[in-house]
């Protein structure tokens, strides 16, 4: 009897599993607002040098007044479109400029200087952001991107730290701690006085995001029967998408960055309190050698699901038999160097590193740059969240019927082309620019969905978790680098888009060199990967993904096999792959 069969006997997808899933989805829902929060808390409103004047025209909201606009010419130089410059002012007032109208000749240039007395900001859209509070504009504008990169670095560190600690101390304990850390660090961020502690608390918040995502998914998946895990994966994935709508609504209603930060952080105190209800994973107890506690948790779940007979039949002997069958490969230790030990694994690892990095890199390049599309930042956030819903469904269908390789390569190449399209579209064509960006974001969401599954199917069981960990690391690096690339706009306005576009196009081509895994047996050992490589060498060519994806053979007795009499079993895939798949699809997104 396997552990999956034990769960079926304990009620399958019963009352306990449904309640457990709903309560775990709530903290995951608010992960999206934290990942994308700086679209609103670090938004850059219109600004100009502060004018030393006692009249009403010194107010940033008075620039729409025609008299004030004319008076500002005396203090602020204007560009070719007669818009006040953002980072320069006249050394002395140029009163003679009042004689010129908007169609008159450009006057002789006067001496200019930086904004020594600070800036005046427009307050129609954003009442307060970290940019307006700490003047992160002009020479200090790069600090805004640095803050987001520090947050993503926290997400990377959290995935490493909390991932290891959850295997040592359990899923429930680390989930409770992560919710508490999120609540405290997120709330403290709303009260900090300067930029440096802001970055420190954002780093801690990013760590907590990883801990919450990892352990929520672990607790949901490890209590879910095999046949219901696809449904659980879809529910948890869509909870992240709903979180993007929540962020747009909350940001539209709360225009002050401190109150918005507080609004998305305080609920984690409630999650921390009801989190004590959660039941620790019996599978984790079993692998940790605590069979008596695993037995008690299974009996509790059977009782909640109304399976009293199963509650009485469960015994330590059954659990020991199950652990003996499933633990050898799950507990085996293999070094990271095994990912590049053989030619086939080197090919797979190099190509997947490109795919993981570029998908996250381009995704955050789009998702964290909402202000540059020329439409309402609140509307574009809603659209970006909505496109995830059909994108994930289409990705699922393509993966199932056309194969992983074609889905992976096409989604990346189409994403890169759509991003590149905006290089040639004028900023005045707001609708077309938005369409390109939304389509690209949808393709990157589809790429995320594919690469999680694809990675687990390409690597053998003995190093599957190691491969998933490497992919996770590359994705985090992409998320860290993405905000920094936007600084290259100082050299050319189109340079960031060019970089964001080329990365997925190159990785899409690299994905063509990966083997197809549709309906293929899952490899258990490194030797299985090499054997598959020899048998399907022709399918590694770049154009192969345009032909038939792959084949599987039928044994003489009608069972599925690999043509050599080896039976394909779903259990080989393992709980840990699905755990990593769902966790990455939630915390990376998207």
Taking only the tens place, the pLDDT of each residue in 3-34 is 666 776 766 777 888 888 889 889 988 888 99
Beta bridge partners of 49: 119
Least confident of 138-152, 286-300, 357-371, 390-404: 286-300
Q: What is the DSSP letter of 60?
A: G
- pLDDT-derived band at 265 (thresholds 50, 70, 90) equals very high
Dihedral sign from CA coordinates of 330, 333, 334, 335: positive
Name the residue among 56, 29, 330, 69 with its Cα closest to residue 182: 29
- Across the chain, what does the average pLDDT equal? 76
Give the integer Cα–Cα distance in Å for 384 and 289. Answer: 45
Give the integer Cα–Cα distance in Å for 409 and 587. Answer: 22
Query: In this model, does residue 404 exceed pLDDT 70?
Result: yes
Q: What is the DSSP letter of 114?
A: E
As a whole number, mean pLDDT of residues 402-417 equals: 89
As a whole number, mean pLDDT of residues 218-229 equals: 73
The percentage of residues in the chain with a pLDDT greater than 90, rounded to a whole number, is 17
Q: What is the DSSP string of 209-246?
A: HHHHHHHHHHHHHTTS-GGGHHHHHHHHHHHHHHHHHH
pLDDT (tens digit per residue) in 327-386? 554 555 566 677 777 888 888 889 999 999 999 899 888 887 776 776 788 888 888 888
Name the residue among 189, 55, 209, 63 with its Cα closest to residue 124: 63
Q: What is the DSSP letter of 117?
A: T
Give the model's pLDDT for residue 257.
92
- pLDDT-derived band at 297 (thresholds 50, 70, 90) equals confident
CB 494, CB 334: distance < 8 Å: no
Query: In this model, does residue 303 exceed pLDDT 50?
Result: yes
As a whole number, mean pLDDT of residues 459-469 equals: 70
Give the model's pLDDT for residue 188.
94
- Which of 64-73, 104-113, 280-289, 479-488: highest mean pLDDT? 479-488
Least confident of 114-128, 339-353, 409-423, 528-542: 528-542
Residues 6+ positions from 191 with CB-CB distance below 8 Å: 258
Radius of gyration of the chain (CA): 27
pLDDT (tens digit per residue) in 173-185? 889 999 999 999 9
Angle between helices 495-511 and 404-421 (to 10 degrees): 160
Query: In this model, does residue 317 exceed pLDDT 70?
Result: no
Give the model's pLDDT for residue 187.
94
Question: Cα angle at 169 between 271 and 228, to 5 degrees?
Answer: 65
The residue with greater pLDDT, 92 or 577, is 92
């Amino acid at each position: 009897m396997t552990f999956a069969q034990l769960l079926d006997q304990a009620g399958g997808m019963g009352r306990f599993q449904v309640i457990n899933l709903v309560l775990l989805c709530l903290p995951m829902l608010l992960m999206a607002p934290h990942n994308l929060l700086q679209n609103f808390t670090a938004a850059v409103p219109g600004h100009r040098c502060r004018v030393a004047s006692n009249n009403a025209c010194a107010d940033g909201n008075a620039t729409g007044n025609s008299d004030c606009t004319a008076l500002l010419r005396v203090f602020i130089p204007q560009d070719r479109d007669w818009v006040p410059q953002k980072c320069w002012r006249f050394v002395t007032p140029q009163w003679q400029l009042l004689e010129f109208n908007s169609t008159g000749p450009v006057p002789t240039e006067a001496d200019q200087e930086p904004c020594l007395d600070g800036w005046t900001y427009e307050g129609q859209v954003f009442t307060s952001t970290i940019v307006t509070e700490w003047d992160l504009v002009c020479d200090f504008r790069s600090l805004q991107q640095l803050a987001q990169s520090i947050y993503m670095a926290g997400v990377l560190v959290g995935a490493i730290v909390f991932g290891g600690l959850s295997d040592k101390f359990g899923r429930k304990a680390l989930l409770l701690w992560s919710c508490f850390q999120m609540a405290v660090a997120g709330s403290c961020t709303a009260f900090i006085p300067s930029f440096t502690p802001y970055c420190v608390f954002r780093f801690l918040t990013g760590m907590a995001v990883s801990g919450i995502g990892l352990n929520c998914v672990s607790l949901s998946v490890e209590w879910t029967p095999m046949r219901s895990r696809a449904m659980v994966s879809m529910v948890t994935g869509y909870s992240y998408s709903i979180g993007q709508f929540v962020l747009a609504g909350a940001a539209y209603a709360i225009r002050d960055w401190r109150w918005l930060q507080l609004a998305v952080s305080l609920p984690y105190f409630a999650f921390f309190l009801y989190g004590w209800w959660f039941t620790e994973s019996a599978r984790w107890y079993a692998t940790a050698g605590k069979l008596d506690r695993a037995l008690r948790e299974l009996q509790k779940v059977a009782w909640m699901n109304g399976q009293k007979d199963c509650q009485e039949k469960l015994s330590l002997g059954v659990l020991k038999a199950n652990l003996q069958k499933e633990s050898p490969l799950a507990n085996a230790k293999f070094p990271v160097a095994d990912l590049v030990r053989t030619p086939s694994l080197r090919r797979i690892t190099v190509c997947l590193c490109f795919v993981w990095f570029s998908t996250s890199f381009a995704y955050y390049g789009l998702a964290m740059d909402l202000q540059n599309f020329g439409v309402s930042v609140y509307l574009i956030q809603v659209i970006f969240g909505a496109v995830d819903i059909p994108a994930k469904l289409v990705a699922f269908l393509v993966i199932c019927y056309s194969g992983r390789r074609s889905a992976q390569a096409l989604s990346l190449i189409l994403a890169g082309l759509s991003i590149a399209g905006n290089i040639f579209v004028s900023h005045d064509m707001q609708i077309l620019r938005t369409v390109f960006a939304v389509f690209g974001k949808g393709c990157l969401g589809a790429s995320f969905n594919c690469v999680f599954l694809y990675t687990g199917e390409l690597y053998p069981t003995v190093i599957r978790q190691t491969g998933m960990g490497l992919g996770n690391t590359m994705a985090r690096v992409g998320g860290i680098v993405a905000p920094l690339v936007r600084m290259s706009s100082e050299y050319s306005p189109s340079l960031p888009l060019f970089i964001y576009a080329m990365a997925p196009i190159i990785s899409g081509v690299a994905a063509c060199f990966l083997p197809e895994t549709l309906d293929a047996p899952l490899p258990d050992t490194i030797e299985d990967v090499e054997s598959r490589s020899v048998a399907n060498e022709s399918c590694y060519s770049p154009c192969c993904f345009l032909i038939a994806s792959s084949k599987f053979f039928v044994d003489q007795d009608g069972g599925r096999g690999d043509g050599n009499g080896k039976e394909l079993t779903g259990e080989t895939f393992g709980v840990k792959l699905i755990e990593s798949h769902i966790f990455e699809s939630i915390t990376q997104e998207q």
